[in-house]
Structure 1
Amino acid sequence: MSLETYSDLCEAIAGWLNRSDLTARVPDFIRLAEAQMNRQLDCRQMVQTMQISISGEDYWLPNDFAGVKSLRLDGTPSTAPEYVLPEALDDAFAAPGRPCRYTITDRIVFDPVPDGVHAGRLRYRKRLCPLSATNRCNWLLKQHPDAYLYGALVQAAPYLEDDDRVGVWGGFFNAAIDQINADDKRQAFPGTVNARGRPL
Structure 2
Amino acid sequence: MALIVDNPSLQSAVTEYLARDQDAILIARIPTFIQLFEAKMNRSLFVRQMESRVTAVTNPTQTEPEFIALPADFQSMRRMRLTVGAAVGKPFLEYKSNQQMDEYKLSIAGTPAQPQFFTIFGNEIELGPGPDAVYTVEMVYRQNIPALATNNTNWLLTLAPDIYLYGALMEAAPYIKEDARIQTWGAGLASALGDLNQLGLTSAFNAGPLTVRPAGLKIW
TM-score (norm 2): 0.80
The CA RMSD over aligned residues, in Å, is: 1.8
Does 2:147 align with 1:130?
yes
* Aligned counterparts of 1:148 and 1:83: Cα–Cα separation in 2: 35
Give the one of 22, 28, 34 matched to 1:30. Answer: 34
> What aligned pairs does 1:56-67 form with structure 2 within 5 A after superposition?
56-67=65-76
Cα distance, 1:44 vs structure 2: 1.5
Structure 2 residue runs of 5 or longer lacking an equivalent are 60-64, 209-220
Deviations 1:49-102 (A, max 9, x none): 122212311100111111111111133124222111112222223211111121
Aligned twin of 1:12: 13
Between the aligned residues of both structures, percent identity stands at: 37
Cα distance, 1:38 vs structure 2: 1.4
* Aligned counterparts of 2:100 and 2:190: Cα–Cα separation in 1: 38
What letter is aligned with 1:153?
Answer: L
Give the one of 40, 43, 48 matched to 2:47. Answer: 43
Structure 1 residue runs of 5 or longer lacking an equivalent are 193-200
Further displaced range: 114-123 or 24-33: 114-123
Cα distance, 1:162 vs structure 2: 2.2
What letter is aligned with 1:10?
Answer: Q
Distance 1:115 1:191, change over 3 A: closer
Give the one of 69, 75, 78 matched to 2:78. Answer: 69
Cα distance, 1:6 vs structure 2: 0.6
Aligned length: 191
Give the one of 109, 121, 128 matched to 1:111. Answer: 128
Further displaced range: 141-150 or 51-60: 51-60
TM-score (norm 1): 0.88
Cα distance, 1:120 vs structure 2: 2.5
Aligned twin of 1:187: 203
What letter is aligned with 1:52?
Answer: A
Cα distance, 1:190 vs structure 2: 2.6
Aligned twin of 2:212: none
* Aligned counterparts of 1:146 and 1:190: Cα–Cα separation in 2: 25
Cα distance, 1:191 vs structure 2: 8.1
Does 2:167 align with 1:151?
yes
* Aligned counterparts of 2:164 and 2:142: Cα–Cα separation in 1: 19
* Aligned counterparts of 1:115 and 1:37: Cα–Cα separation in 2: 40
